[in-house]
Each structure stands twice: as structure tokens, then as C-alpha cells.
Amino acid sequence: MSWRTAVTLVLVAIAAVSGWSLWSNRGALPEQLEAPGGRADYVLNDFEMVALGADGRESFTLRAPRLERDPGTRTMDIATPLFLIPPGGESGDGDAWEVRANTGWISAEGDELRLRGAVEATSDGNAGPPVEIATEALNVFPETDRVTSAERVTINRPGSILRGDGLEVNLASKQYTLQSEVHSRYVP
């Protein structure tokens, strides 16, 4: 066997193994390319963003000093966010809300907001007495006009202070439900 025949056989074997490898791994390619090093694909500094819901109406406005978007999950992490949530309900006759926190997170679809650390939510009192909510963690679902928390919550309204663990709020109907350890105090 000459050296040319040996080289040809080795090259044919390499080509066969390479082809088989490509064929067997053809479905293993990632769906999305991620930014190198796990970095954000974009960063916003000192910005204001208006998010629209599926119906084209304003879902929320966000102001913050910094936002980073994860390219893999398409979620956004925010430093010291201020969320402005327009009046809820079909008719839009509820209260508008300002919600502040140390950090924030927005789902890829924009249908869930997670606020963590020194969360303060204040209604404008347009549809009734103003309400202030304070807690360490709050989840807001603007599309369904819902707010939830599993943490200790304080609700201040003119004339009363409510404290309890766990919170469910329907912004459209203005129903507040504290889950457990509820304490109420009348404040003249």
C-alpha cells in the first residue's frame, strides 16, 4: 500500500466521522444566541419607558437609573425603579399607582413586575381615599390588575393602619385581602 492510498483512506475516514457527527447533532443548536460572557444585550441609563399591553393601552411607565436585559430569558433587571401604573379596570376609573423599590424585574412578556427591597406603593386617591402599601416584596400583574405579596405588609388609609402577612389586591375592584396575622389600628 502506497502512502497516497493510506492518506486517502485516513481523509475518507475523517470525512465520514465529521459527517456523522454533524448529522447526529443537527437539532442541538441553541434557539437564541446569548451575549458573550453572560452579559446583557442592552443597558439603559436614566430612562423612561412606556409599556403597552396586548390591547394597546398603557400597561405601565417605568423610570429608573439603570436597566439591563438578559438576552437568554428576555427579562429585565432594574435598579431603584419607579413604576407608574395607570388606573385599572375596563373603564379606567380606578386609582393610578406609584410603586418604588430598591430593585425590580420585568418578565419577558411584560405581564409581571417583581419589586424587592423597601417597596412603597401609593395610590393617587382619584377613586377614593389614598392608600399606601409598604412591604419588602411585591408582585404586580398589570394586565389583570392584580398585586400580590407573601411578605409582611402594612396598608395605611385615612383613619386606619392594617398589618398582616401575605397580600392579594384586585386594583379594578379595590379589594385588599391580607392572608394571616392581621392587625388593625384606628388612627383618628
Residue 118 scores a pLDDT above 70: yes
Supply the pLDDT for residue 23. 73
Q: What is the CATH number of the domain that holds 159?
A: 2.60.450.10
Residues 4 and 67 grouped into a single domain: no
| Same-domain status, 103 and 146 | yes
* Same domain (yes/no): 86, 159: yes
Ramachandran area for residue 162 (φ above 0: left; ψ -120 to 50: alpha; else beta): beta
* Non-local CB neighbours of 88 within 8 Å, separated by 6+ positions: 94, 95, 145, 171, 172
Burial 98-131 (b: 16+ CB within 10 A, else e): ebbbebbbbeeebbbbbbbeebebbbeeebeeeb
26 and 90 together in one domain: no
Residue 35 above 60 pLDDT?
A: no
Residues 26 and 118 in one domain: no
User: How buried is residue 167: exposed, middle or buried, by Cβ count under 10 Å (0-12/13-18/19+)?
Assistant: buried
Q: Are residues 44 and 13 in the same domain?
A: no
Do 66 and 19 fall into the same domain?
A: no
Question: Total structural domains in the chain?
Answer: 2
pLDDT at 148 > cutoff 80: yes
Report pTM.
0.70
What are the backbone dihedrals phi and psi of residue 122, each rounded to the nearest 5 degrees, phi first? -130, 125
Judge if 12 and 92 occupy the same domain: no
Could you list the residue range(s) of the whole structural domain that residue 53 is in? 39-186
- How far is the C-alpha of 165 from the C-alpha of 28, rounded, in Å? 46
Question: How confident is the model over 159-187, as a mean pLDDT?
Answer: 86
User: Are 159 and 84 part of one and the same domain?
Assistant: yes
Query: Do 3 and 95 share a structural domain?
Result: no
Same domain membership, residue 122 and residue 61 = yes
